[in-house]
Chains A and B, each alone.
Chain A
């Protein structure tokens, strides 16, 4: 009698599963212009994994960039799990963020043009996951966050379906960028075919809501032959600009403000996820050094007119591609999901302010400090 229920349920379930499974053809790998296309089909499954949210040796916390300590190309195994974290985005402003890896923006992945990435992502939005304690087997990102949890992360729960869209990947979105529900894992491969800095973000609708809630980050793909400059830079930093659309909620926390997001009226526009982080922890350099900024505007909806007060950009590679070289720029205009690699000579000891020269954004937080020491060379 009781098993009868199960039988009916089973049949109904099988029909449902039958409806939802799609058979998609697998493309064979091929090369064109030295680039590799045709990745194996993505897999969606469940796993018992409860380890570090970010795994892989070339993932770091902003503004750091992991060194590429290998020659030629490498096959990276990368995990970035989705977790919910209560984070601080400005003094006194905390909200339950939807994150890749635990911070907003998520970790910076650094690879070389032509590298293959096997990417794994578990949707852990229904689990409380602490990311601020040192972990074994995690990426450098995990230890950097444990040592410097500038968003004061606390675990949270907000189960939602999510997905991953790497702009650094060239694949069919209906396969690789598929949405996974809470408790599910997706695994797929992509090749970093083009050099430059590329955003990644959740592509599950409402995309505006998911990205505003914090689901974005950046992949830096260094060119195979480097940038043809004839010099080495002294320092490299990654800077991500993004907007928050928050309003005071019923309790102490802030919540997503749909009306503000719809009207392009952010409550905060920030560098590296926090309104004052690049003043609280200024970027460092010395007079006479060459600093390389990998700047990405992750939006979701605004533009950035990136400028450094007191500096002129010596060389700029739009989108970070070595062919797109510009010289002597005062400001670089970045659309939503656009980037530039910028080299700047630090003129003298003192303070330089990184700023979105769209002043309405600057006054909402999009500023930071580069603090220069005396000339050492």
Chain B
């Protein structure tokens, strides 16, 4: 009896805590893609013969758009450009926007990915959506799940990817879903549109990797053009800090659970 009371009390506390920390759920729900568990090789040092294991998770089909970010700001005013504390961003936060809640869609487009957001803001957005930023390994694992006919095709794709990393036109980004690159489960635009924040963009090992001329060579662990392209992405991400905002970095969210159905959403709000 007593233990039951404790459980009841504990449950009450838990619910209270959960409710207290539950951010405003963004009204628009986008498509979540189920990415099954699996393994992959990264370009970071790993134990030989032991690929990185990744549990199953859900990932936004496309990157977060300007319009979605506006909805988030409407409900979470503390993340607006005029309100956000300087510890969470540098001066460039959403700087191309007309005002706090107006990106100026004629220039930036509703369906284009939001960029110039710090890691902190991206994190807060995903929390508000009931998710989180994907981990580095989740993002990279999903990105590698692309079917190629053969190695030649994979190498040609990777060579193009390297050229793309040298010439992302931050002033003229396409709409989400426009890259026509998708993995075998339907996650779109991991390449060809923007670079994306991940939760642990600067993994602990980053400090041990000397970033110099030889790094790309040392990261050539996969023995393929793909690993060359991946090393540029890893190195670029590792060179950021959480306050940085740039015109080519946006994000998408990951989740441990599928998107709530309309009924369950209603249940939550009751």
User: Which of B88, B92, B202, B231 contacts A20, CB < 8 Å?
Assistant: B202
Residues of chain A from 8 to 65 with CB closer than 8 A to chain B in the complex: 8-10, 12-13, 16-17, 19-20, 22, 46, 48
Task: Report the interface size class on chain A.
Answer: 35 or more
Complex CA–CA separation, A9 to B84 (angstroms): 12
Q: Is B15 among interface residues, defined by CB-CB distance under 8 A? A: no
Stretch at the interface among B5-13, B60-68, B122-130: B122-130
The A interface, classified by DSSP as helix, strand, loop or mixed, is mixed
Segment touching A, from B102-110, B209-217, B255-263 = B209-217
| Given contacts A1-B20, A207-B213, A255 and B120 within 8 Å (CB-CB) | no
Quick one: given A4-B20, A159-B170, A179-B211, are A204 and B235 in contact (CB under 8 Å)? yes
Given A182-B244, A183-B91, answer yes or no on A206-B202 (Cβ-Cβ < 8 Å): no
Using A205-B211, A249-B167 as known contacts, say yes or no to A126 and B21 having CB atoms under 8 A apart: no
Contacts A17-B242, A209-B232, A257-B163 given: A8-B127 contact, CB under 8 Å?
yes
Contact partner of B21 among A4, A19, A161, CB < 8 A?
Answer: A4
Cβ-based interface call for A287 (8 A): no
Asked, given contacts A1-B20, A161-B236, whether A206 binds B216 with beta carbons under 8 Å apart, the answer is: yes
8 Å CB interface, B29-64 against A: none
Q: A249 CA to B242 CA in the complex, in Å?
A: 32
Whether A9 touches B120, Cβ cut-off 8 Å, given contacts A179-B239, A183-B92, is yes
Using a CB-CB cutoff of 8 Å, which residues 87-131 of chain B contact chain A? 87-88, 90-92, 116, 119-120, 123-124, 127-128
CA distance A5 to B202 in the complex (A): 22
In the A-B complex, list the 5 residue pairs whose CB atoms are closest, starting with the nearest.
A161-B239, A159-B246, A256-B166, A258-B162, A207-B213
Q: Besides A205-B231, A256-B162, 10 other CB < 8 A contacts?
A: A3-B78, A4-B23, A5-B128, A126-B170, A159-B246, A179-B211, A206-B228, A256-B166, A256-B167, A259-B159
- Which B residues lie at the A interface, using CB under 8 A? 20-24, 76, 78, 85, 87-88, 90-92, 116, 119-120, 123-124, 127-128, 159, 162-163, 165-171, 202, 204, 206-207, 210-213, 215-216, 228, 231-232, 235-236, 239-242, 244-249
